[in-house]
Amino acid sequence: MPPLRTALLQSSGRPGSVAGNLLALDEAAARAADAGAGLLVCPEMFLTGYAIGDRVPQLAEPVDGPGAAAVAGIAVRHGLAVLYGYPERDGERIFNTAQLIGPDGTRLANYRKTHLFGGFEREWFTPGELPVVQAELAGLRIGIMICYDVEFPENVRSHALAGTDLLLVPTAQMHPFHFVAESVVPVRAFENQMYVAYVNRTGHEGEFEFVGLSCLAGPEGAARARAGRGEELVFGEVDGELLRASRAANPYLRDRAPGLYTALVRADPHGADPHGADPHGADPHGADPHGAEHA
């Protein structure tokens, strides 16, 4: 199986202009296809722009809306898969969503951001409820997250346990959190033995200053491709054979001891059990606070 050449589009496009962003996407897809890429990954909310304030409801569209149809046309025209971010309307609810379109124009996956960041996102969006959304592409299992989601280790570990090979993370990472792109993302790739394509916006947009620094991190914990701070299209290879060899050599997932980690899902940040357990003793259902079951 040949490596999947992956293009990372670091750009904020034209905030508020769906037509302008589709044009930018079409141009980037042409360049990516000419360079041999089979997948183009765009940033969070690329279709509309991120800092669009009260235009979110106006620009939100259903999963099969006109923006999706236009992106499908771009994918078919250039013969590559496209992952893009957009505000998704589902009845009265709006989600911060990323959709993966295959090279034949088929919708492969649609993921709704589960961990909303800051007042802007919480004002306009409903959090998604599915932490692991996957698709198959070029012999690889593709997973999707959005920005803040990847900063929660349990979230990424769920993908590792579900067999994700390449995790796509469209993002709108802003100043001063550049360390996430520089350090956290490569560590996530290493500790979970996967590739992570982290694709950011760049420049100033409304009240935000995006830091760029998009990267494709490999299972060895290094950035195999890295953008700077400005508009850029960068390329990296996702090698399934290298991934298999790395997983065989790295014991992290094999050496896990899940019975020790039950407190991660049982206790809240203040030590209170959401199911009513005493944080300093056994819970009412008989589970030992140290992870062992009572006989």
What average pLDDT does the structure give for the chain?
Answer: 91
Q: What is the pLDDT of residue 152?
A: 97
Query: Nearest 5°: CA angle at 132, between 129 and 138?
Result: 140
Task: Classify residue 211 as left (phi > 0), alpha (psi -120 to 50) or beta.
Answer: alpha
Q: How far apart are CA 77 and CA 75, in angstroms?
A: 6
- Distance of alpha carbon 234 from alpha carbon 223, whole angstroms: 12
For 231-254, what is the mean pLDDT?
Answer: 97
With cut-offs at 50, 70 and 90, classify the pLDDT of residue 272: very low
44, 61, 88, 205: the catalytic one is 44
191 catalytic per annotation? no
277 vs 283: CA distance, rounded Å: 4
- C-alpha 116/C-alpha 67 separation (Å) is 23
Rounded mean pLDDT of 138-152? 98
- Cβ-in-10-Å burial (0-12, 13-18, 19+) of 189 comes to buried
280 secondary structure, DSSP code: T
- Catalytic choice (61, 88, 113, 205): 113
Going from N- to C-terminal start, the domains of the chain cover: 4-249, 257-295
Q: Is the pLDDT assigned to residue 128 strictly greater than 60?
A: yes
| From 147, 151, 205, 215, active-site residue | 147
Quote the CATH superfamily of domain 4-249: Carbon-nitrogen hydrolase (3.60.110.10)
pLDDT for the residue 278: 36
10 Ramachandran zone, left/alpha/beta (phi>0; psi -120 to 50)? beta
- Give me the residues paired with residue 135 across strands: 142
pLDDT at site 211: 97
Helix (H, G, I), strand (E, B) or coil at 174: strand
Contact 143, 167 (CB under 8 A): yes
**Quick one: pLDDT band at residue 220, thresholds 50, 70, 90?**
very high
Burial of 285 (0-12, 13-18, 19+ CB in 10 A): exposed
286, pLDDT greater than 70: no
pLDDT in tens, 42-93: 999 999 999 999 999 999 999 999 999 999 999 999 999 999 999 999 999 9
State whether the Cα torsion 228-229-231-237 is positive or negative.
positive
- pLDDT for the residue 209: 96
Whether 42 is a known active-site residue: answer no
